[in-house]
Amino acid sequence: METKPKALVTGAARGIGAACAQRLARDGYHVLVHYHQSKAAAQQVLESVTASGGSGELMRFDVSDEAEVEQVLNPWLETHGPLSALVLNAGIRADALLAMMLSEEWHKVISVNLDSFFYITKPVVKGMLLARAGKIVAITSVSGVTGMPGQVNYSASKAGVIGAVKALAQEVAKRKVTVNAVAPGFIETDMLSGLDQNQLAQIVPLGRIGTPAEVASAVAFLLSPAAAYITGQVLEINGGIHL
Ligand code: NAP
């Protein structure tokens, strides 16, 4: 594993994160399959990675808990050295009209989706700066680009991530570290549970919901040498719902 480039994918037990972990392992990364609650699912992702000839390991922390992130991530980085790639994927939604939104719904979503950017990226980017190499991709959302009614908290968190990506990209470009965002539209994962997917598909110009693998392809591209001159960008993967 020491000879392979290392990639951390947060929220890699399910959905888009799992697809990214599997794809990056196929692309030759040693993948840190991060999870929080879904231990069994994370183990399955790791098994599928190793079964297809790749390598990886599990890592667990709550992305919204700064002390926990430090306790787990810092010793790993000290022992194994800098990451080549970071995919900030873990995220939640807690939808409600703002007039009805609970304080916990606001703070939890901001904390998991946006505060985590600071907690995780800070130690990781320090190593990348010293190595003068590294690529970061944050998964934001079409909601963060356009704003979405019923998702004021989620839209704010995802727009915040876009601002952070654009600012950090400028801070670290001189050291050859790139920072980009991927903004999916409707993707077939647990996050869409409770929503009528057929109805959603009708408002998508391409006429269907996207797959986690399709998001993973874009992430893999932004982490590849082919994207070496792309930084501070938001790549939208949404079947045409926002242009
Ligand atoms: P998902 O299937 O619901 O997965 C969410 C992931 O986030 C899980 O792996 C979960 O880990 C992790 N997570 C949640 N809270 C966490 C916490 N406090 N600490 C650590 N990990 C935590 O959702 P998904 O659709 O794959 O979403 C992945 C990303 O894509 C999110 O950032 C989401 O906002 C974004 N996105 C999704 C869509 C879509 O339509 N699906 C559209 C736009 C953007 P555990 O299960 O281990 O707890």
Q: Among 9, 10, 16, 31, which is best to mutate for testing ligand 1, by the most ligand atoms less than 8 A from CB?
A: 16
Sheet with strand 6-9: strands edge to edge: 55-60, 30-35, 6-9, 85-88, 134-139, 177-184, 234-237
Does the model's pTM come out above 0.95? Answer: yes
Q: Is the CB of 186 under 6 A from ligand 1?
A: yes
36 lines ligand 1 (CB under 6 A): yes
The single residue listed with the structure tokens 């919901």 is 209
Distance in angstroms (rounded) separating the CA atoms of residues 105 and 149: 15
Ordered by start, the domain boundaries in the chain are 6-237
Query: What spacing in Å lies between the alpha carbon of 190 and ligand 1's midpoint?
Result: 8
With a cut of 70, say whether residue 76 has pLDDT above it.
yes
Residue 183 has pLDDT above 90, yes or no: yes
Query: Residue 2: what pLDDT?
Result: 54
16: nearest Cα among 136, 125, 138: 138
Q: What's the gap in Å between 174 CA and the centre of ligand 1?
A: 31
pLDDT confidence band for 120 (50 / 70 / 90): very high
Q: Mind listing the pLDDT tens digit for each residue in 26-75?
A: 999 999 999 999 999 999 999 999 999 999 999 999 999 999 999 999 99
Query: CATH code for 6-237?
Result: 3.40.50.720
29 C-beta closer than 6 A to ligand 1:
no
Q: Is the pLDDT of residue 79 over 80?
A: yes
Cα of 54 to ligand 1 centre, how many Å? 23
Closest atom, ligand 1, to C-alpha of 212: 26
